[in-house]
Every structure is written in C-alpha cells, then in structure tokens.
C-alpha cells in the first residue's frame, strides 16, 4: 500500500469523521500520524494491495480511539456483510495495536456459535441448509457473561470457532484470553434490530423469496430481538455498508478460495451458494439500511471505501440505493 496514494473518500467526510470522534482537524491529525511514524508501523501489518482509504479512514482512526480510551473498557461494534474485509481488518488492527503498544482486541460474533451438536440442532430445517450464521445459532448467555466480566475489568476467556472443522461446517476450538481496554466486536448482522418488515419485497434478488424463506424470515425476527441486549452494550457502532447488496456473492467466493488454499477445507460450491442466498434473504435488507450506526463507511463491490456517513447528520444519510445495487 502507498499511504500517500490517491484516496476516494472526500476530505470533507474525513474531517467530519475526525470531529465526530473527537480527534481534531484533518491537517493536525494527519501530521500527528505522519510525524509519529504510526502510519508506517501500521503499514507493516496491512495487505500491500489495500487502498489507502482503509488506513486513513478506518484503521488509524480506530487506533486513535484505542489511544484515547487507554485505561478504560470500551466496546466498539463492527457490522459488515460476509467477505467485505472485516476479519482482515480486525487482524490488522490487532497486529498494529500490539506493535504500537495499544490495548485493542477483536472478537467475532462467530466465536460464540454453539458447540457442534447444539449448533446443528439450533438451525436444523432452515431452507438454505446452512450449517451456521443465522440468528439463533449463538450462545447469547455465554456472550453476555463474557462481556459483563470483561467490562468489569476481569481477564476473560472467550471461545474461538474454527470454520474449517467438520468439513467446513465448523466447531468450537479452544479459548482465548481477552483483557484489552478496547474490544472490537464484529459480525455480519451485528447491530441489526427486529423492527423491519420480513414480508417486504427484495428487489435486489434475482430469484424471489420462496414461501419457506418468508416463513423463516418471520421466525427469525423475535430471535434477532434477543441480540439487542448485546448491541445496547456498544459504546459505538461502525458499519461497513455494501453499496451493492449482492456483493457477497463475489466476496464469499474469494474468501472460501483463500480458506481452501490455506486450510484445505471450505464450503463446496453448492454450500457456498446456499450460504450467500441465506445472507441475502434471511433478514430484510432494510435491517442493514436503517441500522443505527454511529459511523457508516460505504464499501463498493471491489472493497473500495467510497463515503463516510455519521449518525444524526441528515445531509450524510446513506441513500436507499446503497442496498439495492
């Protein structure tokens, strides 16, 4: 990555973001990052082909929050559709934070899937035949207990989930210690609330919703409501919002190819198709469009950041087109 390369995010968006986060004006903040060498240290841990907007508009602002909140226990939610880059972003933030002496860790909603037997039972009969990912497949009691203990200042063991186990169906795989000041909690439907109409038409779908899919969409709404206690714990919620709601078709294929190359196990083509169909159908697209996120960053199908929108700034509200493609 060339940190001084051409950026797409408008400077006015960057200015409002920094002011919203209490990080000062653009020129002073940029000078601080460059003079301290922080952006160079951060680059050592980032993919060389990543666009500079990911560094300046996401990575470094989050690291700055970690510095600002040092000594406090803060929880930042990060919501993004599968495959857009949130896991890679999380790994980079953790590595860069460690190199800079900042106390930041990333935890995934995926890590709180039930163990294999209970996971299989929780989503049995779903019309997409997916092995995980739906609301209702997570151990919310364990999640709440872990977050409560962490918030109180304890050193907490949180579960890890390995998606490559059981021929790509996944299973719990050990525990990790979490004691960071800033905890980033990521997931594909993090922040979604049960206030959308599950019977609403979805114009982005090439194949209309089936009767079974409509039945499950309605069934999942009260289940999704159970997650809102966790969302209410966030000090801030950031969303990487796809400008094309069909982008996960491309993103997940790329992600599964990488998993197959690195781990030797991934979803089959038919399983992958069903998984992406589930992402596009199981929750109303308006759940993502109307998400009450503090910071929304638009991501195009090539994973380039386009705009930044802030909660409460009417002139910055993302258009409905950002989810229809």
Predicted confidence (pLDDT) at residue 194 exceeds the cutoff of 80? yes
The answer to whether 165 touches 171, Cβ cutoff 8 Å, is yes
Mean pLDDT for the chain? Answer: 89
What does the block give as tokens for 200? 């609403």
320 pLDDT tier (thresholds 50, 70, 90)? very low
The answer to whether 191 touches 293, Cβ cutoff 8 Å, is yes
CA distance 269 to 312: 42
Residue 248 DSSP SS3: helix
Q: What is the pLDDT of residue 226?
A: 98
User: Which range, of 43-47, 72-76, 186-190, 243-247, averages the lowest pLDDT?
Assistant: 43-47
263 pLDDT tier (thresholds 50, 70, 90)? low
CA distance 109 to 253: 21
Q: What is the pLDDT of residue 265?
A: 59
Angle between helix 11-20 and 26-36 (nearest 10): 80
5 pLDDT tier (thresholds 50, 70, 90)? confident
Predicted confidence (pLDDT) at residue 2 exceeds the cutoff of 70? no
Phi-psi region of 289 (alpha: psi -120 to 50; beta: other; left: phi over 0): alpha
CA distance 213 to 126: 8
Cα–Cα separations (whole angstroms), residue 238 to 76, 128, 192, 224? 7, 28, 12, 19
Q: What is the pLDDT of residue 112?
A: 97
Q: What is the pLDDT of residue 323?
A: 44
Q: What is the pTM of this model?
A: 0.91
What does the block give as tokens for 71? 């000594």
272 pLDDT tier (thresholds 50, 70, 90)? confident
Q: What is the pLDDT of residue 324?
A: 38
Q: What is the pLDDT of residue 317?
A: 46
Q: What is the pLDDT of residues 134-189, one digit of tens each?
A: 999 999 999 999 999 999 999 999 999 987 788 777 889 999 999 999 999 999 99
15 pLDDT tier (thresholds 50, 70, 90)? very high
Predicted confidence (pLDDT) at residue 319 exceeds the cutoff of 60? no
Annotate 74-102 with b (16+ C-beta within 10 A) or e (fewer).
Answer: bbbbbbbbbbbbbbbbbebbbebbeebeb
Overall average pLDDT of the 63-81 stretch: 95
**What are the residue ranges spanned by the domains of the chain?**
11-105+182-318
Residue 117: DSSP 8-state? H
First to last CA, the chain: 28
Q: What's the gap between Cα 84 and its chain centre? A: 8
Q: What is the pLDDT of residue 4?
A: 67
Q: How many CB atoms are located within 10 Å of the residue 118 CB?
A: 11
What does the block give as tokens for 197? 């109409």
Q: What percent of the chain has pLDDT over 90?
A: 66
The more confident residue out of 287 and 270 is: 287
Phi and psi angles of residue 80, each rounded to the nearest 5 degrees, phi first: -165, 145
What does the block give as tokens for 164? 């490559």
Q: Which of 111, 31, 103, 34 is nearest to 65 (CA)?
A: 103
266 pLDDT tier (thresholds 50, 70, 90)? low
CA distance 131 to 233: 28
Phi and psi angles of residue 280, each rounded to the nearest 5 degrees, phi first: -80, -15
Q: What percent of the chain has pLDDT over 70?
A: 92
The correct CATH number of 11-105+182-318 out of 3.40.50, 2.60.40, 3.30.379, 3.30.420 is 3.40.50
């Amino acid at each position: 990555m060339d940190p001084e390369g051409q950026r797409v995010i408008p400077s006015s968006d960057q200015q409002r973001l920094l002011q919203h986060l209490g990080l000062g004006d653009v020129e002073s903040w940029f000078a601080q990052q460059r003079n301290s060498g922080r952006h160079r240290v951060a680059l050592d841990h980032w993919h060389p082909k990543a666009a500079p907007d990911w560094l300046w508009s996401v990575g470094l602002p989050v690291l700055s929050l970690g510095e600002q909140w040092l000594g406090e226990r803060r929880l930042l939610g990060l919501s993004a559709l599968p495959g857009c880059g949130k896991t890679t972003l999380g790994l980079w933030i953790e590595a860069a934070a460690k190199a800079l002496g900042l106390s930041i860790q990333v935890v995934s909603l995926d890590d709180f899937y039930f163990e294999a037997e209970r996971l299989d039972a929780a989503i049995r009969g779903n019309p997409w035949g997916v092995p995980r990912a739906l609301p209702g497949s997570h151990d919310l009691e364990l999640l709440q207990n872990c977050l409560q203990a962490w918030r109180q200042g304890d050193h907490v063991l949180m579960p890890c989930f390995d998606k490559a186990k059981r021929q790509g169906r996944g299973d719990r795989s050990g525990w990790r210690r979490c004691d960071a000041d800033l905890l980033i909690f990521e997931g594909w439907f993090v922040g979604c609330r049960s206030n959308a109409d599950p019977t609403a038409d979805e114009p982005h779908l090439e194949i209309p919703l089936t009767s079974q899919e409509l039945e499950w969409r309605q069934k999942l709404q009260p289940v999704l409501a159970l997650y809102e206690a966790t969302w209410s714990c966030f000090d801030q919620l950031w969303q990487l919002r796809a400008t094309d709601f069909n982008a996960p078709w491309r993103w997940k294929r790329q992600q599964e190819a990488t998993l197959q190359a690195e781990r030797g196990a991934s979803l089959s083509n038919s399983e992958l198709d069903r998984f992406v169909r589930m992402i596009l159908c199981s929750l109303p697209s308006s759940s993502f469009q109307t998400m009450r996120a503090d910071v929304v960053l638009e991501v195009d199908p090539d994973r380039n950041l386009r705009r930044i929108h802030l909660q409460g700034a009417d002139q910055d509200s993302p258009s409905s087109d950002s989810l229809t493609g």
